[in-house]
Each structure stands twice: as structure tokens, then as C-alpha cells.
Structure 1
Amino acid sequence: MMTSRVLGLGPALRQAAFAPRAMRSNAIIRNAIGRRSIKTNSLTPQAGDAILNNQRLKRPSSPHFTIYQPQLTWLGSIANRVTGAGLSVLLYAFGISYLVAPGTFDSQHVVAFVHDLPEAVKYAGKFILAAPFSFHAINGLRHLAWDSGKFLSVKGAYSTGYAVLGASAISTVVLLFQ
């Protein structure tokens, strides 16, 4: 036979036995009357999704640019994502355009087109390609160091961030004048 001690009902039974009768009847009345005085309506799943989407549009983005001071860590993270996405878009655009019109985007036509451009446009184009490539490649080495467990402190993150910026600048200049 199970006892109240085995079931863990001892404290509840003691409270019920020693509580005044007025308190017990008060609890019964309190539970019998509905707790909500607000009437609720059921929504369709589409209406619920519409309400959630409207709420999401009003939320601030993260990190919220208007309240946080810019820091090297999150600026570097954003720059890494933007450069990676930009380089990917250029690569896929060139690859798809080569598939669509191979006669126009083959090596001979591209070299002839670039050869006829003014020097200033050539250097600007090289800079536009070299800067994101250098930053993304060198920042990738930084992330590999983080994956191996190195430079994970705040001081390490900032020192490697400044090293990435310096090495990217040097690498961009070297690529620019080749």
C-alpha cells in the first residue's frame, strides 16, 4: 500500500488538514470563477503570421547601429560578410554570363576589352577587386586561427583585427601595381 510520504503528498495533505475552512472555500470560489476578464478570439494561421510579420518589421536590427558605438570586431565581421557576398556575386555573374554568351566573355575578348580601357579605369577596377579579395582572404586566415583556439581574448581579437587591416592594405597595394 502506498503512503502519502511515498507519493510526496505529505505537505499538501498537512496544508489541507490544518488550513481553516474559510481559506479552503475561498480557494474553491477563486478557482470556480473565470480568471480572465478579457475575451479572446481564435485566429487563422495566416492572420497570426501577418501579426508576427508586422511585429518583426518594427524590431530593431542587431546590432542596432544607432545606439552602439562602432567597434572593430563587429565592423570587421560585417565587412567580411559583405566582401564575401560581393566576391561571390561577381564570380557567379561572370560564370553565368560566360555560359550564356561564351563568345563574348572568353579570355580573348575580356583581355582586349581591358587593354583598351584608360589606365585610371584599370587601376580603379583592380583596386575594386583587390581590396575585398585581400581583406576576405586575410580575415579568413584570422578565422582559421580562431578555429584553432588562438587569439580568442578581446586583446587578441583587436590585435588580429588591426593586423588584418594592415596586411589587407599592403596586399591591396601589391596587387594593384602588379
Structure 2
Amino acid sequence: MLSQRAARQSLNRLAIQRPSMTWELAKFAFPAAVATGKYMQIRPTSSTTDTTDPTKILAQQRLNRPVAPHLTIYRPQITWYASALHRVTGAALSGGLYVFATAYLVAPLLGWHLESASLAAAFGALPLAAKLIVKLGVALPFTFHSFNGVRHLIWDLGRNLTNKQVITSGWTVVGLSVTSALLLALL
């Protein structure tokens, strides 16, 4: 701290002693020039005098960079799929709910019939295979998201967090989801 103060005072004294310093001397970065702010370091804008478009240079540099391996070198795991499917099923279920609720609200204005009786009659008119596919299409995302949500709640309690337990619970969620979705679809 004392040495900094001494250096600052000596720079101030030099600046006062040589107030008429010319620019040619200032470019050599005398302490007085630095103290008075008359020093400016000058550097060329680029190391080459190439006048090509900078975006082309950047594109060329990007081509020379190594490509990250991303997902191509990793072995797929149940945790990846379960996490991705949990997000996708949550978005699909909530998006479907919002779409149906909005359609239900504007149905009287547009002349649509979305009341329960007409929906039940339309569903009843479908062939058996179509009914099974529709029911399975609604039940599978719902059961998977529900069971995987319970799995996440168990993790929030600090339980079943070892690698083996996470893998086991992931496959358990898949099995329970498929089984319960099939049971719901066959009702």
C-alpha cells in the first residue's frame, strides 16, 4: 500500500514537471504520460492484412474446431429415457388438457358439440381396435407420468439414489406403466 502511494506520487510529480510532453514521446509510455492520460497504446486491428469478410473467417474457424462427441459415444441409459419421457408426457398431457378446455369453451360459438353425450356417442361408434388404441394413447402417458412422478418424489426424500436403485426403479416404472395402461385400455 505504501509502495503504491509512493509510485503514484512520483508519477504525479513527473506529470507536473513535464506538462508540455509531445505525442511522439508519449507513445513510449513514460510514467508521466500514463499518469496524465496522454498515452495510448496503438495496435494493428488484425495480424494479417486480409480484407475478406469476417463472417467467412469465423465460418472457416468453426470448421477447424473439433466436434464434441455429444450423445454418440455414450451408451443409452434408462435414466435418460425416463427423464425425457417424463417431460414429454407432462407436456403432452397438459397441452392436451389446454387444447380440449379451449375447444370446449369456444364450441358453443362455433357450433361444435363437445358435450359428454356426443363425445360418448362418437367414441362408442369407433371399432374395437380404434377404441383400444385411443384408450392406450391416453392411458400410457398418464400412467408413466404418474409413476415416474412418484419415483421423483421418493428421490426428493433422499431415498433410492444409488445407481443400481435408480436403474431398478426406472425399469419398475416402465413395467408398471405398461401394465396399468393395458389394464385401463382393456376396461
Instruction: Judge same fold: TM > 0.5, yes or no.
Output: yes
Matched, 1:90 2:96: yes
Distance between the aligned counterparts of 2:167 and 2:121, measured in 1? 44
Q: Is residue 149 of structure 1 aligned with residue 158 of structure 2?
A: yes
Matches within 5 A, 1:19-168: 34=41, 36-38=43-45, 64-102=70-108, 104-168=113-177
Percent pairwise identity: 39
1:9 & 1:108 partners in 2: Cα distance? Answer: 90
Residue 151 of structure 1: how far off its partner (Å)? 1.1
Which structure's CA Rg is the greater one?
2
- Alpha-carbon distance change, 86 to 8 in structure 1, aligned in 2, over 3 angstroms: farther
Whole-Å separation in 1 of the counterparts to 2:158 and 2:41:
57
Write the distance in 1 (CA, Å) between the matches of 2:162 and 2:41.
Answer: 55
Shift of 1:65: 3.5
In structure 1, runs of 5+ residues without a counterpart are 1-6, 14-26, 40-50
Aligned-partner Cα distance in 2 for 1:87–1:139 = 14
Cα separation, 2, equivalents of 1:167 and 1:146: 18
Residues 45-79 of structure 1 deviation map (CA, whole Å, 9 limit, x = unaligned): xxxxxx9xxx9xxxx99x93334321111111001
Structure 2 segments unaligned to the other structure (5+ residues)? 8-27, 47-57
Cα distance between partner residues in 2 of 1:9 and 1:115: 91
Q: Which has the higher contact order (CA 8 A, sep 6+)?
A: 1
CA separation of 1:116/1:155 partners in 2, compared to 1, >3 Å: closer, same or farther?
same
How many pairs were matched up? Answer: 138
Per-residue deviation, 1:131: 0.8
Describe the shift of the 1:8–1:76 C-alpha distance in structure 2 as closer, same or farther (beyond 3 A): farther
TM-score (norm 1): 0.66
User: TM-score scaled by structure 2?
Assistant: 0.63
Distance (whole Å) between structure 2 residues aligned to residue 64 and residue 143 of structure 1: 26
Structure 1 residues 8 and 159: alpha-carbon distance in aligned structure 2, compared to 1, 3 A threshold: farther
